[in-house]
């Protein structure tokens, strides 16, 4: 399939290819939809085997950002960037500054941030060339590490799911299994233990397991393949995507699935299977939106209290999605899409009327042909 055809089939507005031979930069920026505002989404650096692989990734990820921003109530569109290269060998100041200059040339239609293999030091180089970047270090007036805010959003999403399942948002005494105790899983454990929940966790990284043992001695470790079958109230996927699939669903003994990982359902149909089994699924791209909410307020001056207030809204938004899911008898993942699409459409519609601001006849100025 050709690039324009791919863009058309997924509804993208713009895809831009950049290269700078002097530093070896090869990058693609995809802007999916800017109805709600400038397209925001991180930059991922990956040694893609082919250009096609990179293009498909950036198209898919940018579309996901449109839905995440829309459902989160942000005045932002969806975009994403990929840099084709090996993060262990190809990173340099020049590469990120060249990338920053290209981002600048998009004039604010796309705002970037960290994603896989891009850290706050790389962002600092991008920031040297453009203001259209978020996730900047707090020392430079940015919002710094997003993980605590992502974890807070996941915590609010879990509370909403508990309200639906048990009639109370309290998590005291509930048993929660966490798959992956990296940046977000660790912060989530902090919040859950503070309210008296019992934690059972797994990970495959010895350093992260050791950190958990030292910080939360009462939390219980299980091997990675055992986590799905543990008797618990809530299963929280905080590692990689696709952990809800044909193999794992029959093992689940929980009432709720709610975690930070992106694309938790291997396929859309797994949302329906969860619904049929009476397992409440909190929509991943909403409840993990705390990080993007946090960076979104960098432009108006970041403050911890502002960020927390915004992230707290995930509780009500999750309940609203459960309501749509019940009302329309559709799986929660579909209900989240409906809520996002309805918001984009309604805002697109109000933009139909002419605002009277167009300066097509400024006195004394010649009309341009
Ligand atoms: P991370 O890399 O810090 O942590 C992931 C952890 O999962 C690691 O400790 C890793 O060892 C572990 N892991 C990987 N595969 C595993 C497996 N099969 N079984 C058990 N453990 C496994 O990443 P993170 O920043 O904590 O993000 C976690 C998830 O949340 C990711 O899917 C990410 O895309 C998503 N997310 C993160 C943020 C954020 O702010 N960091 C925001 C939105 C979404």
Q: Which residues fall within 8 angstroms of residue 54, CB to CB, at 6 or more apart? A: 28, 46, 48, 82, 84
Residue nearest to atom 15 of ligand 1 (CA): 239
184 CA closest ligand 1 atom index: 26
Quickly state the pLDDT bin for 6 (edges 50, 70, 90): confident
Among 78-82, 216-220, 326-330, 363-367, where is mean pLDDT lowest? 363-367
User: What pLDDT is attached to residue 137?
Assistant: 87
Q: Which residues fall within 8 angstroms of residue 60, CB to CB, at 6 or more apart? A: 10
Pocket residue to mutate for ligand 1, from 239, 290, 295, most atoms within 8 A of Cβ: 239
Residue nearest to atom 12 of ligand 1 (CA): 180
Share of the chain above pLDDT 90, in %: 86
Q: How far is the CA of 235 from the centre of ligand 1 (A)?
A: 15
Partners of residue 199 on adjacent β-strands? 176
Q: What pTM, to 2 d.p., does this model score? A: 0.91
Q: How far is the CA of 241 from the centre of ligand 1 (A)?
A: 9
Which residue among the candidates 63, 80, 317, 334 is catalytic per the annotation? Answer: 80
Q: Is the CB of 116 under 6 A from ligand 1?
A: no
How many whole angstroms from its chain centre is CA 6?
22
Phi, psi angle pair for 253, to nearest 5°: -120, 20
Pocket residue to mutate for ligand 1, from 260, 307, 311, most atoms within 8 A of Cβ: 260
Whether residue 80 lies in the annotated active site: yes
Over the stretch 192-201, which tens digit does the pLDDT of each residue have? 999 999 999 9
Q: Is the CB of 224 under 6 A from ligand 1?
A: yes
Please give the domain boundaries of the chain with CATH numbers for all domains. Answer: 3-68+76-133 (3.40.50.10860), 147-330 (3.40.50.720)
Over the stretch 56-98, which tens digit does the pLDDT of each residue have? 999 999 999 999 999 999 999 999 999 999 999 999 999 999 9
Q: Is the CB of 202 under 6 A from ligand 1?
A: yes
Q: Is the CB of 47 under 6 A from ligand 1?
A: no
Q: Is the CB of 143 under 6 A from ligand 1?
A: no
Q: Give the mean pLDDT of the chain.
A: 94
User: What is the rounded CA–CA span in Å between residue 81 and residue 42?
Assistant: 6
Q: Is the CB of 144 under 6 A from ligand 1?
A: no
Residue nearest to atom 35 of ligand 1 (CA): 261
Is 362's pLDDT higher than 90? Answer: no
User: What is the rounded CA–CA span in Å between residue 174 and residue 192?
Assistant: 9
Partners of residue 220 on adjacent β-strands? 200
116 CA closest ligand 1 atom index: 34
User: What is the rounded CA–CA span in Å between residue 276 and residue 278?
Assistant: 5
Residue nearest to atom 25 of ligand 1 (CA): 183
Over the stretch 156-166, which tens digit does the pLDDT of each residue have? 999 999 999 99
């Amino acid at each position: 399939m050709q690039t324009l055809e791919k863009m058309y089939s997924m509804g993208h507005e713009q895809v831009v290819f950049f290269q700078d031979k002097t530093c070896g930069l090869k990058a693609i920026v995809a802007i999916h939809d800017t109805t709600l505002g400038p397209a925001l989404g991180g930059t991922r650096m990956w040694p893609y085997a082919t250009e096609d692989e990179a293009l498909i990734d950036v198209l898919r990820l940018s579309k996901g950002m449109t839905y995440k921003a829309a459902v989160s109530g942000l005045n932002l569109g969806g975009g994403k960037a990929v840099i084709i290269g090996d993060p262990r060998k190809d990173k340099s100041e020049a590469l990120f500054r060249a990338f920053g200059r290209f981002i600048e040339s998009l004039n604010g239609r796309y705002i970037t941030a960290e994603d896989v293999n891009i850290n706050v030091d790389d962002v600092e180089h991008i920031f040297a060339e453009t203001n259209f970047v978020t996730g900047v270090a707090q020392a430079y007036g940015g919002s710094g590490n997003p993980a605590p805010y992502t974890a807070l959003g996941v915590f609010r999403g879990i509370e909403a799911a508990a309200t639906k399942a048990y009639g109370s948002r309290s998590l005291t005494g509930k048993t929660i299994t966490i798959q992956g105790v990296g940046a977000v899983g660790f912060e989530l454990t902090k919040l859950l233990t503070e309210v008296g929940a019992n934690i059972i966790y797994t990970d495959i990284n010895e350093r992260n397991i050791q950190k958990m043992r030292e910080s939360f001695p009462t939390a219980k470790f299980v091997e990675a393949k055992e986590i799905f079958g543990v008797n618990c109230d809530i299963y929280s996927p905080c590692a990689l995507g696709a952990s809800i699939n044909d193999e794992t669903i029959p093992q689940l003994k929980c009432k709720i699935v709610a975690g930070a990982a992106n694309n938790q359902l291997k396929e859309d149909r797994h949302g329906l299977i969860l619904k049929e089994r009476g397992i409440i699924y909190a929509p991943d791209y909403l409840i993990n939106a705390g990080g993007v909410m946090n960076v979104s307020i960098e432009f108006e001056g970041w403050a911890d209290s502002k960020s927390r207030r915004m992230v707290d809204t995930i509780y009500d938004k999750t309940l609203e999605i459960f309501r749509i899911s019940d009302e329309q008898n559709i799986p929660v993942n579909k209900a989240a899409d409906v809520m996002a699409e309805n918001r984009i459409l309604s805002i697109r519609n109000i933009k139909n009327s002419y605002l009277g601001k167009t300066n097509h006849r400024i006195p004394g100025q010649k009309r341009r042909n």
